[in-house]
Chain A
């Protein structure tokens, strides 16, 4: 793992003086009206913010899970019989919806649920893994989730992007035998110390139906976080290097 010091912070831009206030004089009455309007507007903004928790959740450290769903891109059927992929396009789309549902739940539990990342426990994420994969996933929590300790220093996390493409192995009847979800996810995490970090997770998850539910039984995931501030105040994922 390589830690890269942060660069290009906002404070550096401000110190150059490029945002000097205007020399132009403003009438006192207009200034008073403007200041009053600004105060009212700021108050309205805060009220809107508090009422609209679904838009900006967790700003006050709330426990609401931000809404998140992977956007589904390409869905490809890989048939185990001859006859071409086009024949199974509807099945591929259905499998993509299945994968989107499972993996959206997984990423919500692993990265977005404040109850999980604050405590550093991700039981609701592990439930989506099967057997031996679940044991391995617990060991790989640093990579597959916010992490056991990083969350303690965070104020909130919001999703930025979630893209999913899907490959599905289908039998001669179009039934999915296994689904591979190829994901790229990012979220922004605001630290209690004001630092902002981008949590980035990309990889592949193999899903199969077990006891009527689709579960992850294999994965290959890379975590590549970014930061706007120097990373000294935050932990970094510590999984095994490839």
Chain B
């Protein structure tokens, strides 16, 4: 009896073993075996950057609107023309002092920041186009609140503060050096002109520094985790008014990922302060026409035409 039982048990074992042999051949995938060891590593990526020969021009406008005020009906506190050359992976930032005394199409001569009060971002665009001869493709407008929220949504910006800044009017209080600024601090950095020898000119340059800080940080985060692009695009779309479509914003974001900050020239249109009609204004230099013509060609300004930093001029 014990022999029969042993034979049956052995048969069952053999059946199980045989089934296993039939179903999972030795060495086949899924068999319990030694762990896999890495034998190679390779990486591939593709970023759909714009690559046309034609430069793209965007006008970034910071509205003076406070909470409750219409963003498009208040003065433009900051105005920057950004030229992007997708083919070269380079760009230019050209800031206009807000008190620039210019011709506003249909409204005579006034400070450039008044253009938005006259007719919103379209009139600011028309004013800059008339001044520079450059056709602007898109405008992007934000407010104090929108700017702060945008910076907070991306976790703050790491800014290399170039010099000590203490100004109770804007709220700036910074030692020089790299530091992460939250939305409120970044706004204070952008608004402070009292800490700067070059006043409104230097402030415009600092605003350009924030563009560069954002580009640097965006590229770093994108390289580490491409899906972060969505966070940056969403932060922008939540807090700006623009005539860009969502698809165009995504295209530009991918393109920005391919532009190293070293390939971006941050400039301010040179000029001098003067009095007009009892108010302090900025008379833009006649030499600025060379910058406009250069930038119009390919979105970039060559070193020989680039103006020195405003802080170096004073």
**A residues in contact (CB < 8 Å) with B:** 1-4, 6-10, 26-27, 29-31, 33-49, 56, 59, 78-82, 132-133, 136-137, 140, 142-144, 156-158, 160, 167-169, 171, 177-178, 180, 182, 187-190, 194, 196-198, 204, 206, 208, 217-228, 231, 234, 236-242
Contact = CB atoms under 8 A, between A and B. Distances in A.
B18 A37 contact: yes
Interface stretch (B7-15, B82-90, B298-306): B7-15
Interface stretch (B29-37, B184-192, B205-213, B271-279): B29-37
Contacts of B10: 26, 30-31, 33-34, 37
A140 B39 contact: no
Contact of B19 (A41, A156, A168, A240): A41
Interface stretch (B42-50, B115-123, B160-168): B42-50
B7 A33 contact: yes
Interface centre among A56, A168, A220 (most CB of B within 10 A): A220
Given A80-B238, A132-B48, A136-B46, 8 more contacts: A1-B41, A30-B3, A38-B14, A157-B29, A180-B227, A190-B27, A206-B226, A231-B40
Contact of A44 (B7, B8, B22, B246): B22
Contacts of B35: 8, 226, 228
B34 A228 contact: yes
A157 B30 CA distance: 11
Nearest to B153: A82
B39 A197 contact: yes
Nearest to A231: B39
B56 to A, nearest CB: 17
Given A34-B11, A188-B29, A225 B40 contact: yes
Contact of A49 (B3, B22, B46, B231): B22
B2 to A, nearest CB: 10
A178 B250 CA distance: 9
Given A37-B18, A171-B246, A222 B42 contact: yes
B30 A188 contact: yes
Interface of B: 3, 6-8, 10-23, 25, 27-30, 33-48, 225-227, 230-231, 233-234, 237-238, 246-247, 250, 254
Contacts of B34: 7-10, 228
Contact of B14 (A34, A226, A234): A34
Interface centre among B21, B27, B230 (most CB of A within 10 A): B230
Nearest to A180: B227
14 contacts: A1-B41, A26-B10, A35-B14, A45-B18, A143-B44, A160-B29, A168-B230, A169-B233, A177-B247, A189-B29, A219-B44, A221-B43, A221-B45, A222-B42
Contacts, number: 227
B22 A222 contact: no
Interface centre among B3, B38, B254 (most CB of A within 10 A): B38
Contact of A38 (B17, B48, B225, B233): B17
B14 A48 contact: no
B101 to A, nearest CB: 38
Contact of B41 (A2, A144, A219): A2
A219 B225 CA distance: 11
A239 B18 contact: no
Given A188-B29, A190-B27, A42 B7 contact: no
B3 A143 contact: no
A160 B28 CA distance: 12
B45 A180 contact: no
B8 to A, nearest CB: 8
Contacts of B3: 27, 29-30
Contact of B42 (A7, A37, A142, A156): A142
A31 B234 CA distance: 73
Contacts of B42: 1, 142-143, 222-223, 236-241
A82 B39 contact: no
B21 A218 contact: no
Contacts of B225: 204
A78 B237 CA distance: 11
Nearest to A166: B227
Contacts of A234: 39
Interface centre among B14, B23, B45 (most CB of A within 10 A): B45
Contacts of B27: 10, 190, 194, 196
Nearest to A182: B227
